[in-house]
Amino acid sequence: MRIYQTNIEKYKDAASRLKRKSDLLSMYRLCVFVLSGLAIFILRDQSFLLLFLVIAPLCVFGFGFLVRRHTNVDNLAQYTSSLREINEHEMLRHENKLTGFASGDKFIDSNHPYASDLDIFGNHSIFQLINRTTTEQGERQLADWLSTAAPNIVILKRQEAVKELSPMLEWRQHFHAAGMQFRHTKDEFDQLLSLVEKPVRLLTKKAKYITVCVLLSLLSTSAAAYFLRHAFALNTAEDLIKYSVPLIIMLLINSMVLRKFRYLTDEFIKNIHRDIKLLQTYQSLSAKIESAKFQSELLRKLQSSLCTSNTAKEIKRLVRMLEVLKLKGGKRQFNNFFYSAANALWFMDVYLIIAVEQWKAQNSSILRTCVDAVSDFEVLSSLAGFHCSNPSFAFPEIVDEQYHFDFNSVGHPLINREKRVYNDFCLSDRGNIGVVTGSNMSGKSTFLRALGMNAALALMGAPCCAQSGRISNIRIFSSMRTMDSLEEGVSSFYAELKRIAGLLNLLKHGHAVFFVLDEVFKGTNSKDRCQGGYSLIKQLSKLNSIGLISTHDLELAAMAEKRAGAINYSFNSTLQNNELIFDFALTKGVCRDANAIELMRRSGIEIL
């Protein structure tokens, strides 16, 4: 992961340089402001009028240039800091230090077939390991891909796209940084979408409104020129009234006309600062996509959906119109006064609203297309980042057989690579069931989760924590974290029964299922557990399923193999210096160690 460390140092140095440049520009800006004020004060005398008319605009434009330059440098510094943060996060993910990353808790659904059991969402989850999205829509798209198996052809196209994006580290990180400049919620985007897609109201009578506004603007301008022409020669109040009446009358007429359009401008101004930032975010993300060159079919298709409608260019055009309209409610009094004066004379509101409505008429669906393409790109880029940081992870082959699950050197992706243990596992043909035995902490649950996680990754198009793999496009189902609920009056045993009932219901509808059931019927006595467990295994072996069941009950494991044709697997341990040593290696057959009894004896328990 040397590249990430190198990038951290590079962007840290760049941010420091930009900070020094920003401080220098701040000092220049202050100096220009003071000197400009002093020059204007000295040259205000009428004898220096010509020089004043030259120096004053230069001072204003010079100060404006420095303000703009300072803002650009600050924005670049923020962008550079985002790039440094991205590489720092990659280092943390590489070490499986996921605390602090968005957990995706809002996507947890206790009724989902597998997500709540397999650490797909939540603290120290697959979502945290993969997620490199910056928009809420991108997060939701990632959650959907993790929760739903894609069709075979879609999986193959996603794999191809991820393989292409994986080595494009610089592009991916700049794409990521572009989305980090403004965080927003789905509700905020939906409000903007509603505003943009709202039916036009002025455009249908565009000619009428423009004609009226042009005529009134000409009369207002004439009245203003008439007043200014005589303004310097006013001697009495009567002269002031005489020359200002036409202008006052026109301003009153104009204000009455503008009042009819106020409800339209208020709609845009309400959240205009937020909307502009949101649009700029999507414009920047779209521009990054449009400017790149891709080869894979899926990436080219997504890019084409943006390029065809010139998405980045059109969003930028809308932003420019809104930025002018923003002056109407600007926080700076100078901007507000300038816009208000121009609006009172020349109906800026009307022309801007008509221009925005023309944009809406031409680009009514552009934002939906944009967010769909950007969201898919964010998820594919996240998967590519995941693959780039884990180059040993393999893309499994999706086979046409209905019941096939085969991984070589499969491991748990959320366990640190230095401690991760890999096992081979293969299960195929309808009705084949494996029974896993072993003591507590031997690795049964971890192994089951590893299989379930990698199946979920495979069926979304992601690389898996394995050397290689072949898997059917099969439904995943788990029952591992059944909890009691005092509020609902549900015991853990009843919760497990409800969960298994869900599995049987899924199978009754004809779906092919790969299941993992942990500590089956652990909430009841050994006799009932053995009888119930055997009955369930026998029933599942006749249905459209393959899967694994773990248990402590060696009698159940032996019975399942003898009477139901189940395959026994186990995790064993050795006793060294009064400690159980686990190798977490999957072996064929029932668990053969009895080290727990020996530990009990050495703990002072008199074993009978």
pLDDT in tens, 482-528: 664 444 445 778 888 889 999 999 998 888 999 999 988 887 788 88
Q: What pLDDT does residue 488 have?
A: 45
Q: What pLDDT does residue 487 have?
A: 43
Distance CA 540, CA 507 (A): 9
Q: What pLDDT does residue 240 have?
A: 66
**Helix (H, G, I), strand (E, B), or coil: what is residue 8?**
helix
Determine how many CB atoms are found less than 10 A away from the CB of residue 603. 8
Model confidence band, residue 294 (pLDDT cutoffs 50, 70, 90): very high
Q: What pLDDT does residue 485 have?
A: 47
Instruction: Name which of 298, 302, 269, 265 is nearest 286 in CA terms.
Output: 302
Statement: residue 336 has pLDDT above 60: yes
388 DSSP 8-state letter: H
Mean pLDDT calculated for residue range 257-286: 86
Distance CA 453, CA 86 (A): 25
pLDDT in tens, 374-384: 999 999 999 99
Mean pLDDT calculated for residue range 151-159: 97
Residue with the larger pLDDT of the pair 490 and 458: 458
Mean pLDDT calculated for residue range 105-124: 93
Q: What pLDDT does residue 166 have?
A: 97
Statement: residue 554 has pLDDT above 60: yes
Mean pLDDT calculated for residue range 447-456: 97
Statement: residue 457 has pLDDT above 90: yes
CB 374 within 8 A of CB 289: yes
Burial state string for 321-342 with b = 16 or more CB within 10 A and e = fewer than 16: bbeebbbbbbeeeeeeeebeee
pLDDT winner (highest mean) among 88-92, 347-351, 482-486: 88-92
Statement: residue 138 has pLDDT above 90: yes
H or E segment and range at residue 169: helix 169-179
pLDDT in tens, 589-602: 998 876 677 667 76
Task: Give residue 580's Cα distance to chain centre.
Answer: 43
Q: What pLDDT does residue 47 have?
A: 58
Radius of gyration of the chain (CA): 34
Residues contacting 365, CB < 8 A, separation 6+ = none
Q: What pLDDT does residue 593 have?
A: 75
pTM for the predicted model, two decimal places? 0.87
Residue with the larger pLDDT of the pair 329 and 49: 329
Q: What pLDDT does residue 131 have?
A: 97
pLDDT in tens, 185-240: 778 888 888 888 888 777 777 788 888 888 988 898 888 887 777 665 656 666 66
Q: What pLDDT does residue 173 have?
A: 96
What ranges make up the beta strands (E) of 327-442? 397-399, 404-410, 423-428, 433-437
Q: What pLDDT does residue 195 have?
A: 83
H or E segment and range at residue 404: strand 404-410
Task: Give residue 142's Cα distance to chain centre.
Answer: 7
User: Quick one: tokens of 73?
Assistant: 């440098």
Q: What pLDDT does residue 10 have?
A: 92
Distance CA 262, CA 496 (A): 61
pLDDT in tens, 391-406: 999 999 999 988 999 9
Q: Quote the mean pLDDT of the chain.
A: 87
Mean pLDDT calculated for residue range 155-164: 98
Q: What percent of the chain has pLDDT over 90?
A: 48
